[in-house]
Amino acid sequence: MTYREAVTTTPLDPDMFDPVCPSGLSPIRVGDKWAGMIIRCLEHGPRRFSELRPPLRGITAKVLTKSLRTLERDGLITRTSHPEPAPRVEYALTPLGRSMLEPMAAACAWAREHWDELLDAREAATHG
């Protein structure tokens, strides 16, 4: 088995994005609500559309399609069609998309460090 086969056959963890810890709390965003999470799903190699759905709880097929098209338009991912007996499409990070991983890790670290402050600010704004 090649590295690529091992990567693409290992399923994504459906709990990789904690629903109690929504990405929407972070004021730092890449693209739309789902773009950063899609980039993280593609971090370890190409994935099919159906593989992206489990960890992205709550996303509809229509919204995932739109997000993938936007990421492709912006040069962050590629869409590759494989016309085998059972046609399949895979999405993968481009070098530009891969360059987003480090700044996204820094943004996540910042959000973890300031989590309580972010929660307090949101609550004050909601109840203030």
CB of 34 closer than 8 Å to CB of 71: no
pTM: 0.78
pLDDT tens digits, 47-72: 999 999 999 888 999 999 999 999 99
Q: How many domains does the chain have?
A: 1
Average pLDDT of span 70-79: 96
pLDDT tens digits, 17-46: 655 455 556 666 677 889 999 999 999 999
Given pLDDT bands bounded at 50, 70 and 90, which one contains residue 3? very low
How far is the C-alpha of 56 from the C-alpha of 106, rounded, in Å? 21
CB of 35 closer than 8 Å to CB of 52: no
How far is the C-alpha of 91 from the C-alpha of 79, rounded, in Å? 5
pLDDT tens digits, 105-122: 888 888 888 888 988 888
How far is the C-alpha of 19 from the C-alpha of 117, rounded, in Å? 19
Residue 96 sits in a domain whose CATH number is 1.10.10.10
Residues spanned by the domain of 63: 3-127
Cβ neighbours for 54, distance < 8 A, ≥ 6 positions apart: 11, 12, 14
The 10 Å Cβ neighbour count of residue 85 is 4
pLDDT for the residue numbered 9: 65
Q: Which two tokens stand for residue 87?
A: 């046609």
Q: Residue 110 carries which side chain, given as an amino acid letter?
A: W
Query: In sequence order, what are the beta bridge partners of 35?
Result: none
